[in-house]
Structures are given as C-alpha cells and as structure tokens.
Amino acid sequence: MKKSLVILSLMVLSLTLVGFISAETCDLKASLVNQDPYPAVQGDYVKLLFQLNGVAESGCGVIEFTLLEKYPISFDAGTENIFSVNSGTFTKDHPSFLMIPYKIRVDENSIDGANPVEVSFTNNAGTPLSVSYLDQFNIEVKDVRVKFEVLVKDYNINTKILTLEVLNIGDADVQALTLEIPNKGNGGVLNVKGANTNILGDIDSNEYTTSDFEITPISPGELFLNIKYTDETGTRRETSEKVYFDAKTFNGKKADQKSPSWGLYIFVIIVLGVVGYIFYRRYQKKKKKEMHHMIHH
C-alpha cells in the first residue's frame, strides 16, 4: 500500500515537473511585420501581418493568437480573429515562426498618426498550464477629415440675401459639399426663408465657394452651421462651424442703396424731350403769327 502511494506521488511529481519545464521552455514573441496600405485611411480597410516566434517549441502545446477587436479597428461580420496552431510541428527546413494575416477596417474617426492595436497569445490553451500574454503595436493612420472656414461675405438689406463664403482649409479635396443653417439654435439670430440647405458641389483644397440664403435677421449673435461632404475615401462626413453675424454692420452700404434705374433716366429724358419739343413748336407758331401780322400792317 505504501509502495503504491509512493509510486503515485512520484507520477504526480513527474507530471508537475514536466509541465513546469514545458512552460519554462515555451518562449513566444509577437511582432507586427507589415501594414498595407501604409498609412491606413480612416474608414477604409488595412491588411496587417503578424509574426509569432517560438511556435517550434513542443512545450507550448496548443497556441492561440488573437487580434483584439477594439477601437480603432473592427472586423467584418463572420471574420475570425483567433488563430490556433499546435506547437512543435515545424521542421528544421521550414521557418520556426507563424505568420498571421488580418484584414480589418479602421474607424472613420481614428486619429492621425499612430493608433494602438492589441494582440493576445496563449500557450497550452485549454489546459491548467495555459499562460496568456498581451502585447501592443501601432498602426499608422492618415486623417482624411477636412476642416472648413466660414465667413459672412455679404448681406443685402434690400433683398435680405445673406452670402456666406466657405473655404476648404484642409489638405484634401471634397465632393458633394452642402451647407445648412439649422432652424434649431439659430432662431435668436435669424430665420431662414425657403430652403435652409444649399448644395455647393465639389471644392478643392485651399479653394472657396459661396452660398446664398434669404433670411430675416433678428439680433446679433453666433450663427451655427452644418457642413456635410464626401471625403477622398467616399465616406460621408459631417462637421459644424459657427460665424458671428450682425445685420447692422451692413447698413448704409453703397451697393445696397437704392438709386434710379436706367429705365427711369430714359423716361425722364424722353419726357423732357417731348416737353421741349412742344414748347419749341409753340414758339415757332407764335413767331410765324407775329411775322404775318407785321407783313400785313
């Protein structure tokens, strides 16, 4: 009985030592070896290739590698983000590392420059001896969002037409640009008559365009504007701007002062000509009568 207990104890100890040694000899190391395209574009796909070294060690057991789905990346529905492989199955004539490819989508609001992504990898997966590791890498992202500057170019107090100037101050061209004066929030500054959204079309970087609105001014204040556009990736984006507007600053502008039209000038000239001609005829008739009277006397 004692002999059996000794043998059983030795077996348990041996298994523990084997597991301990195996865990100690498993040295996994991950690296990001490629990103395509570089840099990635917001809202678009990017391919990442990871390399996991140490998979040739049989003591690693079953290895699982996972790219964590968290900001700024996401996977399409049905895409697997966990790779699993049995360690120690590599021969000396083949690389002793595992190449793991992913195709992911970059968040459309990710920041310009380096964005962190995280991976986890586990040895002896599914056993009490499993050990998990967490590592972080950076992917480069290009910011394709565009900034705008809006100015009050003109306001005609007679026609009530407000002209806004929209300047693309970004580094990229945009398409299908629209400008909106939202009804909500601008009631204390002005009211828009008719359509409150204008389609301005395409506008290149560092170029500007104008937009006219018929308004009824109320009081000076910040005018809030919504700008929508399509960026170079085909993504529809929206941003907001504000500009100060005071209708009184345009009072007395010479261009808005009413002046007689050319038609009025022509009418006056014609009237004066007709009146002058009538007086001339009368004068000629009177002169003839006087001459006739002098001849007969």
Distance CA 114, CA 139 (A): 6
Domains of the chain: 28-142 (2.60.40.10), 148-252 (2.60.40.1230)
The token duo for 206 is 């560092």
Tell me if 199 sits within 8 A of 230, measured CB to CB: no
Give 34's contacts (C-beta < 8 A, 6+ positions apart). 47, 48, 49
The token duo for 292 is 């006739």
Tell me if 59 sits within 8 A of 87, measured CB to CB: yes
**Alpha helix positions (H), the chain:** 2-25, 262-296
In DSSP terms, which residues pair with 121 in a beta bridge? 65, 133
Task: Tell whether omega for the bond before 182 is within 30 degrees of 0, i.e. cis.
Answer: no
Tokens 């945009």 correspond to 174
- pTM: predicted TM-score of the whole model, two decimal places: 0.64
The token duo for 28 is 């996994």
- Note down pLDDT in tens along the chain; length 297 residues: 444 433 334 343 343 434 444 445 799 999 999 999 999 999 899 999 999 999 988 899 999 999 999 999 999 999 999 999 999 876 555 667 899 999 999 998 899 999 999 999 999 999 999 999 999 999 999 988 999 999 999 999 999 999 999 999 998 999 999 999 998 878 789 999 999 999 999 999 999 999 999 999 999 999 999 999 999 888 899 999 999 999 999 987 655 555 555 666 676 778 777 777 777 677 666 666 666 666 655
The token duo for 191 is 């009211």
Distance CA 198, CA 251 (A): 26
CA-closest candidate to residue 83, choices 30, 161, 128, 37: 30
* Angle ∠(164,165,167) on CA atoms, nearest 5: 145
Q: Name the DSSP letter for residue 10.
A: H
Distance CA 170, CA 143 (A): 10
How many residues are given for the chain?
Answer: 297
CA-closest candidate to residue 164, choices 206, 226, 218: 226
Query: What pLDDT is stored for residue 228 in this prediction?
Result: 98
* Angle ∠(212,218,219) on CA atoms, nearest 5: 105
Distance CA 131, CA 292 (A): 136
